[in-house]
Structure 1
Amino acid sequence: MSPLIRTGALLASVSLLAACATTDRMSAAAPAGAAVAPVAPAAAQGPQIGSFGFDVAGMDRSIAAGDDFYGHANGTWARNTAIPADKSNYGMFTVLDDLSTKRTRDLLDAAQAGGQTKIGTAYASYLDTAAIDTKGLAPIEPWLGKIKALTGKAGYPALLAEADRMGVSVPIGSYVGQDDKDPETYILSISQSGLGMPDRDYYLSDDAKLTEARTAYLAHLTQMLTLAGEDNAAARAKAVLDFETGIARAHWTRIESRDSDKTYNKMTVAELAKAAPGFDFASYFQGIGTPVDTLIVAQPSAIAGEAKLIASAPIGVLRDQLIVRSLEDFSDVLPTPIDKAVFAFEGTVLSGTPEQEERWKRAVGFTSRALADEVSQIYVAEYFPPETKAAADTLVKNVIAAMDRRIDQLDWMAPATKALAHQKLAAFTPKIGYPDRWRDYSDLDIVAGDAFGNKVRANQWAHQWNIGHLGKPLQRWEWGMTPMTVNAYANFGMVEIVFPAAILQPPFFDPAADPAVNYGGIGAVIGHELSHHFDDQGAKYNREGRLTDWWTPADVAAFKARTDALIAQYDAYEPLPGMKVKGALTLGENVADLAGLTVAHDAYMASLGGKPAPEIDGFSGDQRFYLGWAQVWRRNYREANLRQRLLTDPHSPSEQRAWVVRNLDPWYPAFDPAPTDKLYLAPERRVRIW
């Protein structure tokens, strides 16, 4: 995995979707029963969406809310909204992402024109496809030559280490992050990797569509080797596919890999070498700059399986896989035929996207990753006013206070555990909008006209930044997302929730909108991230961010009974014919949606100060709250993209995320579903956790 896109510890952070320096910290939790602070007053110009913050015209009231709440709230929008040709899916997140990208482009254009050389030069070099095409493969030839010159296995670990530093995907993923059981300490972790397709099922399943993808992947591998100038490409491609199929068989499933206990396996390098013979780990760690004695191994049997496969594979197969990964990972800064070939498989075959994004959009993405904090500083100065941050701060405090009160109402948690849960909540650090410290890129060389070299150096810089954490005190000021990112995340080890500036906009949040819509939108998102720290994995981390047992056995059993019911509920959903939601894979996100909405509704009720919610345009307060939730999940998918998500994404599809309301008691009087409606659940069948 390229260091540029590594964010957060391997298994200790989760985001709202299927992803730097410090923010302001605030006191996390108000005492139970504390007064709720009012959200900032509405701006004079009124809400940006509709008359109260919700797009009423996008509803389809011919669909009963009790049959399909997503369709009821969003049906007309879904029918009338086409997916742009350069998108695999389209919804509220992509609308805001497009806005963020356009705004960042304007800033980069101005930086380029104004002589802000580093970000302007990086942006301009990426845009110059004529120069990239003119150079051909010359920029990458020295690296490809080094791969081709490898004649024996003894040099393979060192070559892989160099590839990893460059940002080329390699069979063993590595990352420096917090030690889950010693969270004030950084440690090296390794995990399974090595697949060119999204998941082991793409290699092993007999599903017709996945079989088609395998056939297309074989053609893609053949094309990549041909473009690299290799002969006998078809036979060599088949050998690479066979090698990766073996890796897929060794890999843990995504459900197994999301278990924080199972993936915490601390061992010495000597113990790893004994458990996984066939690969010189010590040389590899020396090569990536982490000559460690002790590390965390996420999936020991998978790593052992990969080491065995590497030991038995012909050196030519190992070389060919590395050639293909190198061309793929640098395709955007290599000649157009390579760039288009990679998009044809990864974009069109795997995600169903007909057209590649315009080059300027990709240039914005590259520059925003390579020089994230330099771009972030000018973005927040222009697009995140202090009043928006202040209003969001207040909403976060209100939701945290509601969670604090909610803990006391639980009938399944022991009093001693409740006390510890309150302590954990009080330890929270919410981060809103943007960091208050920035990384310094003065030692990163960005050269005009050298797109390939700029990407290599940016990857190497990011790699070095990451491994540089070893031996240092915990850097709590760092962020795992840029302010331009339309997302949010919870970091278990840091005991923090993080909300970048770009998500604090309509439809998620509008200070001028009706509070009910804001609480149903960004309020539920805040509750979602907050409750991740108490989901089936986050609950394993205590107030210090330490992976440990702090619940009683009875608490664990009661919690599991509830989460098992939620797994069964989502297992029944079938978004594509023959493909159902994986309730165990999506459990953490489903728990967070359920708990987040529950807590956000409590916060909304408290914000009314005991007064009834006003009716607006014929909608009650509760109706507006739940419609606000449904609106943020508007999304249309291409079939290939939805299929990939069902196999790999820990989040349920948007439609099913909207359906979580069927478990919430206040939703029933608000929309009056009939017992015969599809979403209706009798009170005793509703899943109640937080």
Structure 2
Amino acid sequence: MNTTSPSFRRCLLALGIAASMSCAWAADTATTAAPPAVKPDVVAANIDTTVKPGDDFFAFANGGWLKSHPIPAAEVQWGIGQVVQDDLYAKLRRISEAAAAQKSAAAGSDEQKVGDFWTTAMDQALADRLGLSPLKGELARIDAVHDVNSALDAAFALQPLGVDVFFDAGVSQDEKASDVMAVHLGQGGLGLPERDYYFNTEQGVAKARVAYVEHLHRMFRLLGTADAAARQSATQVMAFETALAKVSRPLAELRDPEKNYNKMSPADLTGKYTPAIAWNDRLRGWNLQAGRVIVGQPEFFKGLQALLARTPPSVLRDYLRVHLADAYASFLSQDIDNEHFDFYRRVLAGQKEQKPRWKRAINAENMAMGMILGRIYVKDYFPDNSKQRYNAMVEAIRTAYGERIDRLDWMSAATKARAHEKLAAVTKKVGYPDKWKDYSALAIGRESYAQNMMNAQRWAFNDMVSKFGKPVDRAEWEMTPQTYNAYYNPSNNEIVLPAAQFLIPGFADNQIDDAVVYGYVAASTIGHELTHGFDDEGRQFDAKGNLTDWWTAQDAARFKQRADVMVKQFNAYEPLPGLHINGEASLGENIADFGGLMIGLDAFHKTEQFKKGEKIAGYTPLQRFFLGYALGWLSQEREAMLRQSLLSDVHAPAKWRVNGPLSNIPEFYQAFDVKPGQPMWRPETQRVRIW
């Protein structure tokens, strides 16, 4: 489910084609002596014919490609998203190098900022010479911590730098008054990906906990602490974080918007939960004069108060110091960067080696000033006819959804009327923003890589805080155009579809037939995001984006009864021994996958290709639709990355995002002649029937 922050349809990024790729994504080759090679079919070339569709459709549709493309050492997963990303890397590198080569870029111009950022990010020797010195001011502040109040001084200074210690804080729309920007406070402050990493007994998770303590030990050594003291500090920080995790809510519970909406005055938060934190004063230090704040998990703050009161200042110093170092490790000297990579990427995700520095620099550049790059990117790489095609497709999906709502036999007329009101009010944002973000206040120079990232984090924090007390800017985007992803924002009741999301590596937009596009884009992106407005969480927001109950009690009960079938289905999947998919936590995404497919199918039925019924590459239009959907999830991941996603991601792994929803769709059974007894078969009484 997507709130004001993007929820990833894919755990991937942006666009294109890699020269090393073959099969369906091979580039055309030609010589003067031979005609151009025939381009393989966009979906047929990926198929593994040794697998029956009714046994494992994901493996059938994608297995041919996955078998011939093992995960590279510098990747934790490999598939369509990473091939797309490789081309984006190349395009953004050209943009960055061109800016860096300019000798006369005006100070403060986009070209100066991109050029100086790129030059400094690529200077490993400079980073090595500087060592920890870019952090000396913040480290000195932490060294001065001698009690809880001074620890909080340091923590509130670190938050604007993107170091989320003790808790999370932000300014975003009030869930129950979407025209108002509100201060939100919630649980946070953990070094491991999610609270269950501190408690789950599965063998791989247990090993990760041990490795985390060793990582902390080595980081303290790099921060200048003697070995024995560093080991003690690591053990104590782990104990502190484990106690913090213990008072944190599990992942599934964070998806209940009502339970995670607790509005109170800062004084009440101080008096009832955190006497050590004078919230009015602390928020004023961030230029926030907030009469009310929205607290996600009040019991977490009560637990934080108790933990702060009983923790020695030396442990609080160590906790703050190591979180700062880990947050900026990638922008510091090679030894610190390597240590951070070794744990967070090698241990937790299974990545065998670092990406080239230039790719990591582009990732950081996207974080720091993504919309500057995006403005240049769309001018060069996203034509108007593509924007028009997908704007029209959104409307086709909206129409199909409305017709499907009309046909529902479990939803009352009163709720249908409100559902139509909400559907009609959904705003679509396609390709890129109409208004670009103003980065004029962002200072970028050549002092250090880490300094530029600190400047970018401070700028982003100040930009966020500046929205408090002002009208909501509903034109703003939370993703850059060069992002291979999409999201639904319930407070704006909008779907946002970046330009890069529509691309298939090696193919121009006009080279892909409607059947594939309707599966790949209309179902798994547009329909998926639109359905988020009506999933178990999104349905609680009305047409104006306010958290309010607009369903009849009977309809809500019938919806939950149907959703519980999906929860049960996904809870039964066990991708790793002892680790099942969390059906409750992933419910919103699973409903959106299923709903997107059903709506996409309805819209596809109206196309000329479906009506003609002609085969392409041996497959019917209906078969190509489902193959196009599976193409969107063509991906494989390392075991460590799979473990991490099962514990900390609200999305099911790729394979089950294909096989799970398809096992509930009668037209899939018909298209591929799925029979009782095959693994993909479900008796009709056990299939999900929501949309």
1:130-168 Cα distance to aligned partner (Å, 9 max, x none): 111112222212221111112222222222111011222
Q: Would the aligned equivalents of 1:485 and 1:500 in 2 still touch at CA under 8 Å?
A: yes
SS of residue matched to 2:663: helix
Shift of 1:407: 0.8
Contact 2:74 2:353 in 1 (8 A): yes
List per-residue Cα deviations over 1:363-413 (Å, max 9, x = no partner): 111112212221111011011011111111111111111111111011111
Q: Which residue of 2 aligns with 1:531?
A: 531
1:3 is aligned to none
1:512 lines up with 2:505 in the alignment = no
Q: Where does residue 618 of structure 1 map in the other structure? A: 618
1:32 matched residue in structure 2: none
Aligned residue number for residue 293 of structure 1:
291
Once the two structures are TM-superposed, the CA of residue 536 in structure 1 deviates from its matched residue by 0.3
**Residue 534 and residue 9 in structure 1: after superposition, are their counterparts in 2 closer, same or farther (change >3 A)?**
same
Q: Alpha-carbon deviation of 1:443?
A: 1.8
Change (3 A) 1:49 1:456: farther
**2:16 aligned partner:** none
- Are the counterparts in 1 of residues 142 and 151 from structure 2 also a CA contact under 8 Å? no
| Residue 33 of structure 1: aligned partner | none
- Structure-to-structure mapping, 1:306-321, within 5 angstroms: 306-321=304-319
SS of residue matched to 1:90: strand
Percent of counterpart pairs with the same letter? 38
Among 209, 212, 233, the residue aligned to 1:214? 209
Match of 2:597 in 1: 597
Partner of 1:98: 86
CA distance in 2, matches of 1:636, 1:49: 27
Q: 1:173, 1:377 → 2: CA distance?
A: 30
Residue 24 of structure 2: aligned partner: none
Distance in structure 1 (CA, Å) of the matches to 2:189 and 2:38: 45
- Letter aligned with residue 681 of structure 2: Y
Task: Supply the distance in 1 between the matched residues of 2:584 and 2:292 (Cα, whole angstroms).
Answer: 31
Q: For 1:148 and 1:447, how far apart are their aligned partners in 2?
A: 28
Pairwise CA distance, 1:201? 1.8
Is 1:244 matched up with 2:241? yes
Task: State the match for 1:53 in structure 2.
Answer: 42
1:16 to 6, 9, 22: 9
Deviation at 1:264, TM superposition (A): 0.8
Which residue of the other structure, out of 43, 53, 77, is the alignment partner of 2:65? 77
Q: Distance in 1 between matches of 2:552 and 2:276?
A: 42
- Deviations along 1:217-244, whole A, 9 cap, x unmatched? 1111111111111231111111111000
Structure 2, unpaired ranges of 5+: 13-29, 31-35, 106-110
- After TM superposition, the structure 1 = structure 2 runs for residues 285-364 of structure 1, keeping only pairs within 5 Å, are 285-364=283-362
**Separation of aligned partners in 1, 2:259 and 2:174:** 14
Matching residue within 148, 156, 161 for 2:143: 148
Q: Which amino acid aligns with 1:275?
A: K
Question: Map of 1:622-641 to 2, 5 A cutoff?
Answer: 622-641=622-641
State the match for 2:399 in structure 1.
Answer: 401
Q: Answer whether contact 1:278 1:311 (CA < 8 A) is retained.
A: no
Question: Residue in 1 aligned with 2:670?
Answer: 669
**Secondary structure class of the residue paired with 1:606:** coil
Tell me: CA distance 1:485–1:229, structure 2 relative to 1, closer, same or farther (3 Å).
same
Q: Distance in 2 between matches of 1:307 and 1:49?
A: 66
Q: How far apart are residue 8 of structure 1 and its match?
A: 5.8
Output one character per residue of 1:496-519: Cα deviation in whole Å (capped at 9) or x when no partner. Answer: 001111111116993321111100
Match in the other structure for 2:684: 683
Counterpart pick for 1:110 among 80, 98, 105: 98
Cα-to-partner distance string for 1:488-540 (whole Å, 9 max, x where unaligned): 00000101001111111116993321111100110111100000000000000
Write out per-residue CA displacement over residues 631-683 of structure 1, whole angstroms, 9 at most, x where no aligned residue.
Answer: 11111110000000001111111111111211111111110011010110122
Aligned to 2:646: 646
Letter in 2 for 1:80: S
Question: CA, structure 1 residues 610+382, in 2 after alignment: closer, same or farther (shift >3 Å)?
Answer: closer
Q: How does 1:113-192 map to 2 (within 5 A)?
A: 113-114=101-102, 115=105, 116-192=111-187
Partner of 1:577: 577
Provide the aligned length of Structure 1 versus Structure 2: 655
Q: Contact 2:514/2:609 (CA < 8 Å) preserved in 1?
A: no
Name the counterpart of 1:365: 363
Distance of 1:210 and 1:504 partners within structure 2? 36
Matches within 5 A, 1:337-486: 337-486=335-484
Q: Cα 1:49–1:203, aligned 2, differ >3 Å: closer, same or farther?
A: farther
Using the TM superposition, name which of 147-156 and 583-592 deviates more: 147-156
User: What corresponds to 1:42 in structure 2?
Assistant: none
Describe the superposition over 1:397-449 as per-residue Cα deviations: whole angstroms up to 9, x where unpaired: 11111111111011111101111111111111110110111122222211124
After superposition, the CA RMSD in angstroms is: 1.9
CA contact (8 A) 1:279 1:307 kept: yes
Letter in 2 for 1:163: L
- How far the C-alpha of 1:278 sits from its partner, in A, is 4.3
State how far apart, in whole Å, the 2-side matches of 1:347 and 1:617 are. Answer: 40
Partner of 1:30: none
Equivalent in the alignment of 1:31: none
Contact preservation (8 Å) 1:131, 1:449: no
Residue 18 of structure 2 corresponds to none
CA distance in 2, matches of 1:150, 1:676: 65
How many Å apart are 1:75 and its aligned residue?
A: 1.5
- 1:685 is displaced (CA, Å) by 2.0
Query: Structure 2 CA distance, aligned partners of 1:605 and 1:107?
Result: 42
In structure 2, the partner of 1:41 is none
- Once the two structures are superposed, what CA deviation does each residue of 1:546-590 show, in whole Å capped at 9, x if it has no partner? 100000011111101111000111111111112111111110000
- 1:35 counterpart residue number: none
Structure 1 residues 405 and 237, CA, compared in 2 at 3 Å: closer, same or farther?
same
Instruction: Determine if contact 2:411/2:555 at 8 Å carries over to the other structure.
Output: yes
**What is the CA-CA distance between 1:50 and the residue it aligns to?**
5.2
1:254 counterpart (221, 226, 251): 251
Indicate how the Cα distance of structure 1 residues 361 and 49 shifts in structure 2: closer, same or farther if over 3 A, else same.
farther
Task: Verify: 1:269 aligned to 2:266, yes or no.
Answer: yes
Matches of 1:610 and 1:17, distance apart in 2: 27
How many angstroms apart in 2 are the aligned matches of 1:593 and 1:420? 23
Letter in 1 for 2:647: L
| Preserved contact between residue 66 and residue 79 of structure 2 (Cα < 8 Å) | no
Answer with 638-647 or 577-586: which moved more: 577-586
| 1:85-132 CA-partner distances (Å, limit 9, x unpaired) | 111111111211222122111111112113421111011111111111
Equivalent-residue separation in structure 1 for 2:117 and 2:443 (angstroms): 10
Q: Following the alignment from structure 2 to structure 1, what is the Cα–Cα distance between the partners of residues 602 and 234? A: 57
CA distance in 2: counterparts of 1:411 and 1:470, whole angstroms? 44
Q: Is this contact kept in 2: 1:8–1:177, CA < 8 A?
A: no
Gap change, CA 1:603 and 1:653, over 3 Å in 2: same
Per-residue CA shift, 1:24-69, capped at 9, x if unaligned?
xxxxxxxxxxxxxxxxxxxxx9x99955532x23211221111101
Matches of 2:433 and 2:96, distance apart in 1: 20
SS in 2 for 1:657: helix
Aligned equivalents of 1:335 and 1:259: distance in 2?
42
> Deviation of residue 80 (structure 1)?
1.6
- Residues 293-302 or 636-645, more deviating: 293-302
Q: Is the 2:181–2:472 contact (alpha carbons within 8 Å) kept by the matching residues of 1?
A: yes
Question: Residue 400 of structure 1 aligns to which amino acid in structure 2?
Answer: R
Q: Look up the SS of the partner of 2:97 in the other structure.
A: helix
Separation (CA, whole Å) in 2 of partners of 1:137 and 1:682: 61
CA distance in 2, matches of 1:413, 1:396: 24
2:122–2:357 contact (8 Å) kept in structure 1: yes
- How far apart, CA to CA, are the structure 1 residues paired with 2:39 and 2:630? 15
Deviation at residue 255 of structure 1 after TM alignment:
0.2
Shift of 1:618: 2.1
